[in-house]
Structure 1
Amino acid sequence: MNLKTEWEKLKVRKKLIDAFKSGKIHLSYKSADHERLISPKIHAVDLANESTTITFTLPNGLNPELLDKNFFAFQQHFGNAIELEGEYKKFVLKIYNASMPSELIYSYKNIKDAINSYRLGVICGKNRQGEYVAFDLLKQPHILIAGETGSGKSTQLRSILTTMILSKRPDELELYLGDCKKSEFHIFRKVEHVQCVHSSPRDIQKMLLHIKKELDERSNLTETFEVSHVDELPAEHKRPYLVVCIDEFVMLRKDEKIMDILTEIAAIGRTLGVFLILSMQRPNAKVLDTTIRANLTVSMGFKLRDAMESKIVNTPNAHKIETSGRFIMNSDKLYEIQAPYLTMDKAKKLLGPFMVAKGPVKEVTEAPPQITEKDVFNDVD
Structure 2
Amino acid sequence: MSVTTAPGMDAETFDQFLDQLERYVRERLIPAETEVIANDRIPDDIVAEMKEMGLFGLTVPEDFGGAGLNTTQYAKVVQTMAYAAPAYRSIFSINVGMFNSAIKNGGTDAQKAEWWPRIAEGAIACFGLTEPGSGSDSAAMATTARPDPEGNGWIINGTKRYITNAPHADVGLIMARTEKDAQPKNAHVSAFIVPMDTPGVSTSSPDKKMGQAGSHISDIMLDDVHVPGDALLGEQTGQGFRFAMMSLDNGRISVGAASTGYARRALDSALKYANERQAFGEPIANFQLIQQMLSESWTEIYAAEAMMADVTARVDRGENTVKHAAAFKVFASEMCGRVVDRVVQIYGGAGYLAEYDAERFFRDARIYRIYEGTTQILQLQIAKHMLRDYAAGL
For the pair shown, which has the larger CA radius of gyration, 1 or 2?
A: 1
Q: TM-score range by the shorter chain?
A: under 0.3
Q: Which structure has greater strand proportion?
A: 1
Q: Which structure has greater helix proportion?
A: 2
